[in-house]
Chain A
Amino acid sequence: MKSDKFFRNLIIVLTLALLTLIFYQASSLLTPLLSAMVVAYILYPLINFSNRVGIPKGVTIFAILVFIFLTSVGIIFSVIPSIHDEMVALTSQSTIKPESHLIKVYNSLSDQLAGFGILNDPTSPEEVIEKLQEWQEENKNIFLNLLGAVRQTGEFFMVFMFILVFLLLDGNKLYMSLVNLLPNSFFEPGLLILRKTSDVLGYYLRGLVIENLILGLISFLLLLIAMSFTPLTVTLCFLISLAIALTNVIRIVGPFIGGAIGVFIVLMTNPDLLAMGSVFFVVLIVQFLDNVLVLPLVMKDQVNVHPVFCLLSVLMGGKIAGILGMMLAIPFIGAIKVVYRILTVEMKKFRID
Chain B
Amino acid sequence: MKFFQKLIQRATLNTLDEMANDEKHRFMRDNPLLKDLGEEAYLFLLKRVAKRSYVRDELVFKQDNLGVCCFFVRQGSVEIYFESEEKNKTVYTIKKAGALFGEISAIHKTYRAASAKALENDTELFVLSSFDLEDLQKQYPSDYLKILQGITHTILDVLDETSRKLRLAEKANEDLTKRLG
Question: Closest Cβ of chain A: how far from B2's Cβ, in Å?
Answer: 8
Report whether over half of chain A's contact residues are helix, strand or loop; otherwise say mixed. Answer: helix
The answer to whether B47 has its CB under 8 Å from any CB of chain A is yes
Q: Are A54 and B5 closer than 8 Å at their CB atoms?
A: yes
CA distance A184 to B116 in the complex (A): 12
Q: Are B62 and A187 closer than 8 Å at their CB atoms?
A: no
Q: Are B111 and A187 closer than 8 Å at their CB atoms?
A: no
- Interface positions, chain A 36-61, Cβ under 8 Å from B, are 48, 51-56, 59
Q: Are A56 and B7 closer than 8 Å at their CB atoms?
A: yes
Choose among B1, B54, B111 the residue that contacts A53 (Cβ–Cβ < 8 A): B1
Q: Given A54-B4, A56-B4, A185-B59, A192 and B139 touching (CB < 8 A)?
A: no
Q: Are A176 and B50 closer than 8 Å at their CB atoms?
A: yes
Q: Are A191 and B131 closer than 8 Å at their CB atoms?
A: yes
The answer to whether B58 has its CB under 8 Å from any CB of chain A is yes
CA distance A59 to B8 in the complex (A): 11
Choose among A48, A185, A188 the residue that contacts B66 (Cβ–Cβ < 8 A): A188
Q: Given A56-B11, A349-B111, A176 and B48 touching (CB < 8 A)?
A: yes
The answer to whether B61 has its CB under 8 Å from any CB of chain A is yes
Question: Closest Cβ of chain B: how far from A194's Cβ, in Å?
Answer: 9
Q: Given A52-B139, A56-B7, A191 and B65 touching (CB < 8 A)?
A: no
Q: Given A54-B8, A172-B47, A191-B68, A352 and B62 touching (CB < 8 A)?
A: yes
The answer to whether A91 has its CB under 8 Å from any CB of chain B is no
Choose among B2, B11, B129 the residue that contacts A191 (Cβ–Cβ < 8 A): B129
The answer to whether B69 has its CB under 8 Å from any CB of chain A is yes
Q: Are A188 and B65 closer than 8 Å at their CB atoms?
A: yes
Q: How many residues of B contact A (CB 8 A)?
A: 30
* Contact residues in B for A188 (Cβ distance below 8 Å): 61, 65-69
* Contact residues in A for B131 (Cβ distance below 8 Å): 191, 195
The answer to whether A179 has its CB under 8 Å from any CB of chain B is yes
* Contact residues in B for A137 (Cβ distance below 8 Å): none
Q: Are A192 and B66 closer than 8 Å at their CB atoms?
A: yes
Q: Are A48 and B69 closer than 8 Å at their CB atoms?
A: no
The answer to whether B52 has its CB under 8 Å from any CB of chain A is yes
Q: Given A48-B139, A53-B1, A191-B129, A179 and B64 touching (CB < 8 A)?
A: no
* Contact residues in B for A191 (Cβ distance below 8 Å): 68-69, 129, 131
Residues of B with Cβ closer than 8 Å to A?
1-2, 4-5, 7-8, 11, 47-48, 50-52, 54, 58-62, 64-69, 111, 127, 129, 131, 138-139
**Sampled A-B contacts (13; CB under 8 Å):** A54-B2, A59-B4, A176-B47, A176-B48, A180-B50, A180-B51, A187-B127, A189-B66, A191-B129, A192-B68, A347-B65, A350-B65, A351-B62
